[in-house]
Structure 1
Amino acid sequence: MSGLVVIIIGAFIVCLLCGLPVVIAMAAGAIIPSFVGMAGATNFSALVRSIFGSAENTTLIAIPLFILAGNIMSEGQIAKKLYDVFAYFVGNKTGGLPCAAVMTCLFYGAISGSAPATAAAVGGMTFPLLVRLGYEKNFVAALIATAGGLGVIIPPSIPFVLYSSSTNVSLGDMFTAGFLPGFLMGFLLMAYCVIYCRKPGRENKEMLSKHYSELHKMGLRKVFLDGIWALLSPIIVLGGIYAGIFTPTEAACASVVYSLVVSIFVYKSIRLKDLPRIMAVSIKGLAPICLILPLATAFGRVLVMLKAPAALSEFIATYFNSRPLVLFAVLVIFFILGMFIDTAPAIVVMAPILLPTMQMLGVNLIHFGVIMTVCLAIGCVTPPFGVNLFVTSSISKVPPMTIGKKSFGMIGVFTIALLIITYVPAICTIFL
Structure 2
Amino acid sequence: MISLTLFGLFTLLLVVGTPIAISLGLASTAALLISGKVGINFVPQGLVTAIDSFPLMAVPFFILSGELMGQGGLSQRLLNTGKIFFGRYSGGLAIIAVATCVFFAAISGSGPATVAAIGAILFPAMAREGYRPSFSAGLVASAGSLGVIIPPSIPMVIYATSANVSVTKMFMAGIIPGLLIGLALIGYAWWQSRKEGQRPQEERIDAREAAGILWDAKWALLVPVIILGGIYGGVFTPTEAAAIGVAYGLVIGLFVYRELKVAALYRLFASAALTTATVMLIVGTATVFGRVLAIERIPVMLADAVTETVSSPVVLMLLMNVLLLVIGTFMETLAAIIIMTPILLPLVTAAGISPEHFGIVMIVNLAIGMVTPPVGVNLFVASRVARISLTDVVKGTTRPLVLLMLLLLVITYVPAFSLWLPSLFGM
TM-score, normalized by length of structure 1?
0.95
Please list the CA deviations of residues 176-216 of structure 1 after superposition, one character each: whole Å capped at 9, or x if unmatched: 00000000000111111111112244x2x3xx534x33x55
- The aligned residue for residue 390 of structure 2 is 400
2-structure distance, mates of 1:251, 1:370: 21
Matches within 5 A, 1:317-356: 317-356=307-346
Asked if 1:359 is matched to 2:349, the reply is yes
Query: Which range is displaced more, 283-292 or 50-59?
Result: 50-59
Asked if 1:40 is matched to 2:38, the reply is yes
Q: Is the 8 A contact 2:2 2:34 kept in 1?
A: no
Cα pair distance change 1:200/1:275, threshold 3 Å: closer
Q: Is the 8 A contact 1:153 1:178 kept in 2?
A: yes
Q: Is the 8 A contact 2:104 2:147 kept in 1?
A: yes
- The aligned residue for residue 425 of structure 2 is none
Runs of 4+ in 1 over 4 A off after TM superposition: 215-218
Query: Which range is displaced more, 367-376 or 268-277?
Result: 268-277
Query: Which range is displaced more, 415-424 or 94-103?
Result: 94-103
- The aligned residue for residue 242 of structure 2 is 252
Instruction: Report the secondary structure of 1:223's partner residue.
Output: helix
| Unmatched segments (≥5 aa) in structure 1 | none
Q: Is the 8 A contact 2:60 2:272 kept in 1?
A: yes
- The aligned residue for residue 209 of structure 1 is 201
Q: Is the 8 A contact 1:383 1:401 kept in 2?
A: no
2-structure distance, mates of 1:353, 1:34: 18
Residue of structure 1 aligned with 2:111, choices 106, 110, 115 = 115
2-structure distance, mates of 1:33, 1:302: 8
- The aligned residue for residue 141 of structure 1 is 137
Q: Is the 8 A contact 1:384 1:401 kept in 2?
A: no
Matches within 5 A, 1:255-274: 255-274=245-264
Q: Is the 8 A contact 1:116 1:388 kept in 2?
A: yes
RMSD of aligned alpha carbons: 1.4
Instruction: Report the secondary structure of 1:311's partner residue.
Output: helix
Percent identity of equivalent pairs: 38
Please list the CA deviations of residues 309-336 of structure 1 after superposition, one character each: whole Å capped at 9, or x if unmatched: 1111122112222001110111111111
| 1:37 to partner: Cα distance | 4.2
| 1:120 to partner: Cα distance | 0.5
Asked if 1:92 is matched to 2:88, the reply is yes
Instruction: Report the secondary structure of 1:219's partner residue.
Output: helix
Residue of structure 2 aligned with 1:9, choices 4, 7, 10 = 7
Please list the CA deviations of residues 363-417 of structure 1 after superposition, one character each: whole Å capped at 9, or x if unmatched: 1000011011000000000112200000011111212232112211001111111
Which residue type is aligned with residue 141 of structure 1? A
Asked if 1:79 is matched to 2:69, the reply is no
Cα pair distance change 1:238/1:37, threshold 3 Å: closer
Which residue type is aligned with residue 82 of structure 1? L
Instruction: Report the secondary structure of 2:201's partner residue.
Output: helix
- The aligned residue for residue 22 of structure 1 is 20
2-structure distance, mates of 1:70, 1:36: 43
2-structure distance, mates of 1:407, 1:37: 44
1-structure distance, mates of 2:238, 2:38: 36
| 1:32 to partner: Cα distance | 1.9
- The aligned residue for residue 163 of structure 1 is 159
Residue of structure 2 aligned with 1:291, choices 266, 281, 296 = 281
Query: Which range is displaced more, 94-103 or 143-152?
Result: 94-103
Cα pair distance change 1:297/1:209, threshold 3 Å: closer
